[in-house]
Amino acid sequence: MPDGKLVFLESSTTGHLFVRAARHQGLCPVLVTSGSDRYRNLAGEAIDTIIADTCDIAEMALVCDELQSQAPIAGILSTSGAYAAMAARLCHRLGLPGGDHQAIDNCQNKFLQRGTLKNAGFLTPAYELVHSIPSAVEAATRIGFPVIVKPVIGSGSTGVRLCLDSGDVGEQVAHLLSTGSEGTVREILIEEFIVGPEYSVETVGDVVLGITRKHLGELPYFVEVGHDFPALLRQVDEASIADTVVSALDALHLHWGPAHTELRLDERGPVIIEVNPRMGGDMIPELTRLATGIDVVSETIKLVTGAKIDLTPQRRRRASIRFLHPGAEGVVRWASDLYAARAISSVSEVELYMAEGDEVRRHGDYRDRIGHVIAVGETQNQIEASLANAMAHLQYGIEAS
């Protein structure tokens, strides 16, 4: 029998890894979600699921009380940053290990986060908070084109777009004000576009697990199409990035649990784009495990259940992921050979998210991707060759619908 329930508030691209790790640790995973069909990567996991309003603290408290009456809740967490503060509130209510919900809330608001970091002396993009098209155009003109327009609260690059002129700004702001990714967006950031390579730093508490090199798709969107872990960096840049991020986490009072900090490196040094009070998505935890031996998913579960954790690297290798990103709308027509792709040396995982005949819609965010390949090796050149060979076996076309 499982030792207790591990409650997940919603999920993410790495949610299935957490479910499997929870079971491996003798825990019973329970997903609480507002929609049972939201997560395709959980389709084969046969996880106990409760439908509830995961944004309502009163309803969530009732759900947890009911679960607690059936069997002990060993821990509560969310692999999605949008629900990290709710998880922390529930942990505090039940006396379970968890983060500071107020610090997480403040961090989730990109405007508040940016102000805290700027006041603490960190390099950040110039930015302004706006609520309308005219104020957005005025702010963009002051900052200087091109600018980035993004919701104050959001993740997965949803609603984020590079705007080259006032027309682009007006169009994107109108889109955000009218649709929103999780309901209507009311607050929008206009942000300076920082030119330079993009990285993310993976941490647990004040421990830096490593730095990830990020590969982005075509502008004006910021869809991440690949990651390399650890990033190939000069030692001086690696130290500067790591020190900057640890200090930023301290300024934001994020002293507990995983965090994923995104930044760009320009001639001035590391410029923090945003700090996310959650583990990195896009299978970055799996890249970390393959490269270092640190199973950050399992260690995070230990952390939230009050067990001792070990973040000591066991090996030094490299791992990369590349996503299939068609950049077009229509019906998927596969001409792939999964067996051949998976048989390639150094390839550890090949996954397709869509079946033959499924329809692809462009969102300008993580939802545009239709599959991925992961490779691990001793050198980046070896990994790149394996990825290219695997991708050559994953041919497809997008047929207009």
Residues of the chain with CATH 3.30.1490.20: 126-192
Domain 317-401 indexed as CATH 3.30.470.20: yes
Would you say 3 and 75 are in contact if contact means Cβ atoms under 8 Å apart? no
One DSSP character per residue, 120-151 reads: TT-----EEEESSHHHHHHHHHHH-SSEEEEE
pTM of the prediction? 0.92
Report the pLDDT value the prediction gives residue 2, as an integer from 0 to 100: 54
Report the pLDDT value the prediction gives residue 185, as an integer from 0 to 100: 65
Question: What strands lie across the sheet with 224-229, from one edge to the other?
Answer: 269-276, 258-266, 198-204, 207-216, 224-229, 318-324, 371-377, 347-352
Task: Give buried/exposed letters for 4-38 (b at 16+ CB in 10 A, else e).
Answer: bbbbbbbbbbbbbbbbebbeebebbbbbbbeeeee
What is the residue-level pLDDT of the chain in tens, covering all 401 positions? Answer: 357 999 999 988 788 889 999 999 999 999 999 986 777 777 778 888 899 999 999 999 999 999 999 999 999 999 888 899 999 999 999 999 999 999 999 999 999 999 999 999 999 999 999 999 999 999 999 999 999 999 998 777 788 999 999 999 999 999 998 864 444 568 999 999 999 999 999 999 999 999 999 999 999 999 999 999 999 999 999 999 999 999 999 999 999 999 999 999 999 999 999 999 999 989 999 999 999 999 999 999 999 999 999 999 999 999 999 999 998 899 999 999 999 999 998 999 999 999 999 999 988 888 899 999 999 999 999 999 999 999 999 999 999 87
Residue 333's SS3 state is strand
Cα 179 from Cα 173, distance rounded (Å): 10
Residues of the chain with CATH 3.40.50.20: 4-98
Residues of the chain with CATH 3.30.470.20: 317-401
Q: What is the CATH number of domain 4-98?
A: 3.40.50.20
Cα 332 from Cα 237, distance rounded (Å): 42
Looking at 3.30.1490.20, 3.50.50.60, 3.40.50.720, 3.40.1410.10, the CATH number of the domain 126-192 comes to: 3.30.1490.20
